[in-house]
Amino acid sequence: MVNKIAVIGDKDSVLAFKSVGVEVFDATTAEQAQDLVKKLSQGQYAVVLIAETLAVQIPETLAKAKTRAFPAVVPIPTTAQSNGFGMQGIKADVEKAIGVDIIFNK
Amino acid sequence: MARLNVNPTRMEMKRLQSRLKTATRGHKLLKDKTDEMVRRFISIAQQNKRLREEVEQDLANAMGSFAQARTQADSRIVDEAICMPSRSVTLQCSKRKVMGIDVPQIEISDTSTQLYPYSFLSVTSRLDDSVRGLNSVLAKLIRLAEVEKTCNMLADEIERNKRRVNALENIMIPQLTETIRYIKMKLDESERSATVRLMKVKDIINN
């Protein structure tokens, strides 16, 4: 049964998640993040949160994770200002499904 | 348009006609399915966008508080304070069907109600803010994960479905119509030639 949450990111920014009972995995480079995502995909994790700064560096791994029901890999901003990677994901989905982006153009 | 490589017989034509019927019906059904999926997708994508905006805002606040807490007290003390969480989050996962595809349904189930795993002596109230903020954002984050995954999978499925519709519309159906037309022509032609032959024979006999 998949039932755990994990967060991947550099230690300083994601450590706070530990206080609410999320498992924290430390990664600072793209390779580390890639390995972790692969490892966690095979484990019992339903939701994997990943720092946006790392997520932008490993698009192929994330694309592969998208095709399966579990885990749901969600990029999250770890700094005060989001770099918009998460929003880009939604935009790409809309473009893929409909052909034109009709949600963000408003 | 390329026609299929078949023998021009009446039986073959019947077979192709029934195939054409199935293909046309399938095409209509698939097209309707795509329409409905797109309709649902749009509402889910809008929800996704709204949720993400909220989550990013809340998360930024909580992260900011945490960073402040670490600078106000010794960062090692803060780290130590939160290193042994009093609660662990487990999720209830199941699968739900949306338009024939399995999408995850994730619900959060808490094991403890106690929020702060540390004593209030060593850390400032900024950390409390941060923990409280994160705690409330966590539920939203799980919801976001669910919605975003649904969005992803639906987008994939819509793309796949569109391809199917296009294949039927632009290749399969024209090919079948063309082949049926060809067989019909051939059959008519052979019928005519049989008639002509009969007439010729009659002429020869009469003379």
Question: What residues of chain B lie within 8 A of the CB of A89, using their CB?
Answer: 148
**A4-79 belongs to CATH 3.65.10.10:** no
- The domain segmentation of chain A, as residue ranges, is 4-79
Mean residue pLDDT of chain B comes to 83
Task: Check: CB of residue B33 under 8 Å from CB of residue B168.
Answer: no
Alpha-carbon span A86 to A74, nearest angstrom? 8
**What is the rounded CA–CA span in Å between residue B16 and residue B13?**
5
Confidence band for B21, pLDDT divided at 50, 70 and 90: very high
Q: Which residues, 6+ apart, have CB-to-CB distance to A53 below 8 Å? A: A9, A10, A78, A79, A83
pLDDT tens-digit map of B132-186:
777 778 888 888 888 888 888 888 888 889 999 999 999 999 999 999 999 999 9
Q: How confident is the model at residue B191 (pLDDT cuts 50, 70, 90)?
A: very high
Retrieve residue A13's tokens: 């920014």
Domain that holds residue B149: 10-199
> Is B204 inside any structural domain?
no
List the 118-157 stretch of B: residues with Cβ below 8 A of A. 130-131, 134-135, 138, 141-142, 144-146, 148-149, 151-156
Q: What pLDDT score does B139 carry?
A: 80
Q: Residue B2: inside a domain, yes or no? A: no
Q: Considering the domain boundaries, does residue B116 fall inside one?
A: yes
Quote ipTM for the complex.
0.82
Q: Is the pLDDT of residue B201 over 70?
A: yes
From residue A31, how far is each of A46, B100, B127 by CA, in Å? 22, 36, 32
- Report the domain count for chain B: 1
User: B148: domain CATH number?
Assistant: 1.10.287.3240
Looking at chain B, list the stretches that DSSP marks H as alpha helix, in order from N- to C-terminal side. 10-72, 75-83, 125-167, 173-206
Determine contact, residues B98/B154, Cβ cutoff 8 Å. yes
| Residue at B167 is within a domain | yes
3-state DSSP assignment of residue A84: coil
Q: Ranked by mean pLDDT, which of A60-69, B11-20, B43-52 comes out on top? A: B11-20
Residues of chain B contacting residue A18, judged by C-beta atoms under 8 Å apart? 82-83, 85
B19 located within any domain: yes
Tens digit of each residue's pLDDT, chain A (106 residues)? 567 788 887 777 777 777 777 778 877 787 877 787 778 777 778 788 888 877 778 777 777 777 776 778 888 877 666 677 778 888 888 888 887 777 766 5
From the list B164, B37, B179, the residue with the least C-alpha distance to B98 is B37
Residue B3 lies in a domain: no
Does residue B71 sit within a domain? yes
Res. B193: pLDDT tops 70:
yes
In a domain, B47, yes or no: yes
User: Which residues is B69 bridged to in the sheet?
Assistant: none
